[in-house]
Amino acid sequence: MFISIIELGSFVKAAENLNTSVAQASKLISKLENELGVQLLKRSTRSLKPTELGLAYYHRIKQLMSEFDEIEISIKNQSRAPVGKLKISAPNSFGTVQLSKTLVNFAQNYSQIELDVSFTDRTVNVIEEGFDIAIRIGELKDNNLIATPLSQIRFLLVASPLYLEKFGYPQSLQDLESHSCIIDTNFKDPYEWTFFEKSPSNVLHTINVNGRIHFANTEACLAATIAGLGIARLPMFILKDALIDKKIIPILENYELPRRGLYAVYPPAKHLANKVRTLIDYLKEQYAYPAEWEIYE
């Protein structure tokens, strides 16, 4: 009643709008003012205006009603089966090796969702190119997007038995400078490798490496490593099978490479579409750290 009186500017119009009498409307406002212990309306024969407290009360009530509407919409969306098309982007190697399997299972569980998926190492413009979700690894640069953490990507320093038999095991981080390293040029500083000591001090070390093999593709880096062409730092999501089959082995295990965050990024929205929320929740469940690809021993 109070909101109708403020917005319509009179007891008569508010009473008509709510299908009640003017007397009942006046009675309800008087009761509200008595309960609050303040005057909400300035009444005269010619005008009806809210007091300063009345106006503040009006705005607060409107805000609460808006929040209630949002909650109601959110609950209704969650109760419905997700439907529609999802346009998704992901880094090439992660998409091919891991996300593709996850999305196949997702599609089997949600038959009314259509998937349009692109795997590329180009940083797509999510909003301008019409993507619902993009998967990102590492540093996030799009401040105009919402980011949801999905997991962490662990990296290992690895080499093949063939390479180590021929060139020997590096005994220290400094030894890497004299070894042939396989360079993944997708990294911001591909020749600068950073390590943490596995000790309470957690000391940081940075080593500059070199090598004759350079790829802007993680799968190609792995293939070169298995072939014995050098030492590589590679993400666990691509290493599991090769580690199990002993095609590569971890080296310098007293040190740890920095982990990188795995995120789902998407445009901001007042009400996140149910299909988007459903996929994000599914990815969070599937990739919760430690993800399946992290466990190989």
What was the pLDDT predicted at 131? 97
Out of 145-159, 213-227, 283-297, pick the least confident.
283-297
Q: Range(s) for CATH 3.40.190.10 in the chain?
A: 84-151+261-294
Rounded distance between C-alpha atoms, residue 248 and residue 246, angstroms: 5
Q: For 107-142, how does the pLDDT look when each residue is reduced to its tens digit (9 = 90+)? A: 999 999 999 999 999 999 999 999 999 999 998 988
Q: Range(s) for CATH 1.10.10.10 in the chain?
A: 2-78
Cβ contacts of 268-271, under 8 Å, gap ≥ 24: 268/144, 268/145, 268/146, 270/70, 271/70, 271/73, 271/74, 271/77
Rounded distance between C-alpha atoms, residue 139 and residue 90, angstroms: 14
What was the pLDDT predicted at 79? 54
Residue 263: what are its φ and ψ, rounded to 5°?
A: -130, 155
Fold of 155-256: D-Maltodextrin-Binding Protein; domain 2 (3.40.190)
Amino acid at 46: R
Give the DSSP per-residue string, 154-193. -EEEEE-HHHHHHH----SGGGGGGSEEEEETTSSSTTEE
What was the pLDDT predicted at 29? 78
What was the pLDDT predicted at 297? 65
Residue 46: DSSP 8-state:
S
The residue assigned the tokens 């750290």 is 289
Enter the tokens of residue 57: 């009360």
Q: What's the Cα-to-Cα distance from 280 to each of 29, 95, 99, 204, rounded to whole Å?
A: 46, 15, 12, 34
What was the pLDDT predicted at 73? 65
Residue 290: asked if its preceding bond is cis (omega within 30°), the reply is yes
CATH of segment(s) 2-78:
1.10.10.10
Q: How confident is the model at residue 182 (pLDDT cuts 50, 70, 90)?
A: very high
Element (H, E) at 28: helix 22-36
What was the pLDDT predicted at 115? 98
Residues counted in the chain = 297
Q: What is the pTM of this model?
A: 0.73
Pick the CATH number of 84-151+261-294 from 3.40.190.10, 3.20.20.100, 3.40.50.300, 3.40.640.10: 3.40.190.10
Quick check: 224 pLDDT over 60? yes
| Cα torsion through 168, 175, 177, 255, rounded to 10 | 110
Q: How confident is the model at residue 75 (pLDDT cuts 50, 70, 90)?
A: low
Quick check: 176 pLDDT over 90? yes
The average confidence (pLDDT) of the chain is 90
What was the pLDDT predicted at 27? 83
What was the pLDDT predicted at 120? 96
Quick check: 7 pLDDT over 80? no
Instruction: Report CA 43 to chain centroid distance, whole Å.
Output: 53
Per-residue buried b or exposed e for 269-294, using 16+ beta carbons within 10 Å of the residue's own CB: eeebbbbbbbbbebbeebbeeebebb
Q: For 89-111, how does the pLDDT look when each residue is reduced to its tens digit (9 = 90+)? A: 999 999 999 999 999 999 999 99
Q: Range(s) for CATH 3.40.190.290 in the chain?
A: 155-256
Enter the tokens of residue 100: 């593709």
Q: Tell me if 265 sits within 8 A of 64, measured CB to CB.
A: no
Q: What's the Cα-to-Cα distance from 112 to each of 115, 121, 154, 266, rounded to whole Å?
A: 10, 29, 34, 21
Amino acid at 54: G
